[in-house]
Amino acid sequence: MLDAAQKGGYAYPAINVTSLTTINGALKAFSESKSDGIIQVSTGGGEFASGTAVKDAAFGAIVLAEACHLLAEKHDVLIALHTDHCHPEKVEGFLKPLLQASRERIAAGKGPLFQSHMFDGSVVDLKENLTISKELLKECAELGIILEVEAGCVGGEEDGHDTSGLPIEKLYTTPEDMLEVYEALSGIGRFMFAATFGNVHGSYKPGSVKLKPSILKDGQKAVTDKHGSGAEMDLVFHGGSGTSSEDLQETLDYGVVKMNIDTDTQYAFTRPIVTHICAEHRGRAQDRRRSRQQETL
């Protein structure tokens, strides 16, 4: 899928899910669009799916992934499963159990539970980030799993992790960072790289976020100038909700193959529910008023 996206100059939508209902919504949309795509689970989504009395993010992610494996068989599109941001303190409790689940599936003659995982080491310095990333990528590569890594910070808030107060320069990955990431990981296994270029989590009005897609261009150039055209990296665009079509197209030109869309799909899911409830509430209130008026008469 990633090779096809690089060759075709497009990116897959990566849709966060939390339940059977949202899984089926994503699958229906992919099928109707005749589009392959990515379904992903965050730590918060996994915790929710496990039940509020359990709150086990890894267990909930396993439940959602197994459901996806079964439900996707009813659809004539390719679906990849991915886990979203996992910070260093959650590796042991979230990422490691999921890798073990894949290990057990493979031993039973099946494929891995998830095709890719994200380790978000942007909360630590780049040296520590890459030390952890290398160890995780080794483990993923042994299981035929891709690892997504991040350097630089995506702004905003997601799953309780708030970076809105960081200095503005933290939102932009440098060409030197991109080169260092490539040289640290390229010999270990296939990876995706969430380089940051001013993108934020959440919905925002056009113009309120200063995206600089040229950062991706400069970083890719630093890598390919030193290591050749075959070194172009598979890039990920986090915080895709609200992006203008011009900015989106420009990122595709620079190697983005995966685009995370969460806030927009949350709104699309909840808005009709709220509209229906409000309309029903108003209608019943009007019925009660008419009934009282008739009783008075």
Active site residues: 84
Q: What is the rounded CA–CA span in Å between residue 273 and residue 275?
A: 5
Asked whether 147 and 122 are in contact (CB, 8 A), the reply is no
> What does residue 249 show for φ and ψ, rounded to 5 degrees?
-60, -40
Closest CA to 199 of 260, 268, 143: 260
Tokens coding 25:
């919504």
Tokens coding 294:
């008739």
Asked whether 270 and 263 are in contact (CB, 8 A), the reply is no
Asked whether 39 and 68 are in contact (CB, 8 A), the reply is yes
DSSP sequence for 92-143: IIIIHHHHHHHHHHHHTT---S-SEEEE--TTS-HHHHHHHHHHHHHHHHHT
Residue 8: which region, alpha, beta or left (left: phi > 0; alpha: psi -120 to 50)?
alpha
The DSSP element (H or E) to which 266 belongs, if any, is: helix 263-296
Asked whether 119 and 86 are in contact (CB, 8 A), the reply is yes
Single-letter code of the amino acid located at 183: E
